[in-house]
Amino acid sequence: MTTLKHGTKTQEMKRELRQLRATARKIAATKESARRFLLSTGLYSANGQIKPQFR
């Protein structure tokens, strides 16, 4: 996650933003990769259903 610090260079922030966008595109590229991501975060159960605490 980007944390702004005094003296942070704009180029560093732009590079990190490009990396975050690339990661988001990779996750959202296919339905299966999105499902794997949601499973890894704990939002979905193993059978693909949203867990009760997130409903």
Q: What is the pLDDT of residue 6?
A: 66
* Residues 10, 31: Cα–Cα separation, whole Å: 34
Give the contacts of 27 (CB within 8 A, at least 6 positions apart): 33, 34, 37
Q: What is the pLDDT of residue 9?
A: 77
Yes or no: say if 28 and 34 are a contact pair by the CB < 8 Å rule.
Answer: yes
Q: What is the pLDDT of residue 7?
A: 64
10-residue stretch averages of pLDDT, the chain, 55 residues long: 67 92 95 92 90 91
Rounded to two decimals, what is the model's pTM? 0.62
Q: What is the pLDDT of residue 3?
A: 65
* Residues 36, 30: Cα–Cα separation, whole Å: 10
Give the number of other CB atoms < 10 A from CB of residue 44: 18
Q: What is the pLDDT of residue 48?
A: 84
